[in-house]
Amino acid sequence: MAVVVILPKQGQSVESCIITEIKKKKGDAVKKGDILFTYETDKATFEEESPADGVVLESFYKDGDEVPVLLNMMIIGQPGEDYTSLSGGEVSGKEQEVSISKTEEPIKEETVPVAVVPTQHSGLNTQNSSFISPRAKSLAAKKAIDVNQITGSGPKGRVIEKDIQAALESRPKMTPLAKQIATQDNIQPQGAGSGLAGTAKSTDLLTPANAVYGVDYEDKKLSNMRKLIAKAMHSSLQNSAQLTHHLGADARQILALRKKVKAAMDAGTLTTNITLNDMVCFAVVKALKKYPNANSHFLGESMRLFNKVHLGLAVDTDRGLMVPAVRNADDLSIFGLANQLKEVANSCKKGAISPELLAAEAATFTVSNLGAYGVEMFTPVINLPQSAILGVNTIVPRPKDLGDGVYAFVPYIGLSLTYDHRALDGGEATRFLKQIAVEIETLELDIF
């Protein structure tokens, strides 16, 4: 008896998915549990397993197709079996093609780079969802302004001449050659130029190699994931009043604890690896319980103060930044927290995290740890609507007054708290940050 495999609906707001890879083609033999195909939403990648043993009798879509959820993907059955009576047979397959033909068109466009190249050479943005006036468009092309980077201030968000002029003013002056190359190749100068009074020369352009003689770049379409991150980050900086305080915490206590953990692991008395990050997160949870205003969402007209702490963790993956949440982190022991943090991070790296946990609303506060990379100080970007985010930096030795005129180098861990000034004032933010430091410096783990 043949069975139909549909494209599951992953998350309430998901309307369609992109088929990442068809792993089993029509005619392939499959076993129950084999991966039939992988697909991605704008937040995560999923795998679909075969529900039965048999062969793929029919496969309706190919790699890269955007398919509305709940439509039939494949039919699995025995060789030679008549499956046309199934509701997901060829007939409905055709219907589905018709029904998605609208969404298919723009995707096709994206996969034909030749058609896109000329517009790009004119320095214009074809991806921007908003409109641009003919005048602004022409000025942008002339001045080699990338309209992708511009938000329109005209009626209905239309990019108008004024917006291009504003962008021009904030950009370094360019030499005629630089301008010409920028126009031809749609590239921008990086920061202030190296010429007179900061004028950008052709060598200052974003893509220096062979800029004069030819095209030496690749235009890569953004993945859904990248688009989503771009939108979220840009929106965060545009729509909130964020600033960052930096403060160091004496790291001797946690380093000592870490040493103990390692020893215990080596001795086999401890099975859970508790990292410095786990300890910092544990300290953060404690501090949040004392500063409930920091454990909040800022909603414009109101503040949403949470009873529980849902801790977001920034995770670097191949596909880009992901911030999964550990729900009810304040209920967890250090073991529980450590395990959960590892689990969500791994799920993200595999692309198998539940979309619900990736939503910005799922966490009440986020920790972003760049310490492992040696970053000494940074300004993390708030995951709106959360009110704050903590950046954790590397540990550096700093002189400290140990009393009685004795100074010594002690390890300090840098903490960078970015907060939304609409939600928190500087005093409270500082006290909260200091509290995190205190929690770190006085952390006790009764696990040994």
Partner 1 sequence: MPKVQFIDPADVRKPGFVEFQPIPVNQYQKTVKDEKGNFTNVEFKEIYHDMVLIREFETMINLIKTKGEYNGTPYNHPGPAHLSIGQESAAVGMAWTLTVDDYIFGSHRSHGEILAKGMSAIHKLDDKQLTGIMESFFEGAVLNVVKKDFIGTTKELARRFLVYGTLAEIFARSTGFNRGLGGSMHAFFTPFGVYPNNALVGGSGDIAVGAALYKKVNRQKGLVVANIGDASMACGPVWEGMNFASMDQFHQLWEGDMKGGLPIIINIMNNQYGMGGQTAGETMGYDIAARIGAGVNPEQMHAERVDGYNPLAVIDAYKRKRVILEEKRGPVLLDVLTYRYSGHSPSDASSYRSKEEVEAWEAQDCIASYGNQLIEAGEATQTDLDATWADVKTLVYDMFLKSIDDAVSPRMTNAQIIGDMMFSNGSVDSFSTAKPDVLMSLEENSRVKKIASKERFAFDADGKPFSKMKQFQLRDGIFEAMMHRFYQDASLIAYGEENRDWGGAFAVYGGMTEALPYHRLFNSPIAEASIVGTAIGYAMCGGRVVPEIMYCDFLGRCGDEVFNQMPKWQSMSGNVLKMPITLRVSVGSKYGAQHSQDWTSLVTQIPGLKVCFPVTPYDAKGLMNSALQGTDPVVYFESQRIYEIGEQFHTGGVPEGYYEIPFGEPDVKKEGKDITFLTVGHTLYPALKAAQELEEKYGMSAEVIDARSLVPFNYEKVIESVKKTGKIIVAGDACTRGSFLTDFAANISTLCFDYLDAPVCVLGSRNWITPAYELEESFFPQVSWFLDMVHERIQPLAGYVSGQNFTDAEFIRRSKLGV
- The binding site for partner 1 (CB under 8 A) comprises 133-136, 138, 153-155, 158, 160-162
Shortest separation between residue 164's beta carbon and partner 1, angstroms? 9
Nearer to partner 1, 165 or 223 (CB): 165
Shortest separation between residue 166's beta carbon and partner 1, angstroms? 13
Nearer to partner 1, 154 or 292 (CB): 154
Give the contacts of 80 (CB within 8 A, at least 6 positions apart).
Answer: none
Q: Where are the alpha helices (DSSP H) in 82-175?
A: 90-111, 113-121, 134-143, 161-169
Shortest separation between residue 155's beta carbon and partner 1, angstroms? 6
Nearer to partner 1, 138 or 203 (CB): 138
Rounded to 5 degrees, φ, ψ at 232 are -65, -45
* Strands 365-369 and 388-403, bridge-based pairing: parallel
Tell me how far CA of residue 353 lies from CA of 6, 282, 325, 346, in angstroms.
20, 22, 10, 8
Residue 21: its H or E element: strand 16-22
Nearer to partner 1, 152 or 195 (CB): 152
Nearer to partner 1, 24 or 137 (CB): 137
Nearer to partner 1, 131 or 378 (CB): 131
Tell me how far CA of residue 363 lies from CA of 183, 294, 313, 360, 402, in angstroms.
43, 12, 9, 6, 39
Give the contacts of 437 (CB within 8 A, at least 6 positions apart).
Answer: 247, 248, 249, 250, 415
Give the contacts of 126 (CB within 8 A, at least 6 positions apart).
Answer: 116, 119, 120
Shortest separation between residue 154's beta carbon and partner 1, angstroms? 6
Nearer to partner 1, 118 or 214 (CB): 118
Cβ atoms of residues 16 and 68 within 8 Å: yes
Shortest separation between residue 238's beta carbon and partner 1, angstroms? 17
Tell me how far CA of residue 128 lies from CA of 97, 109, 216, 231, in angstroms.
27, 15, 24, 12
Indicate the DSSP class of residue 197: G
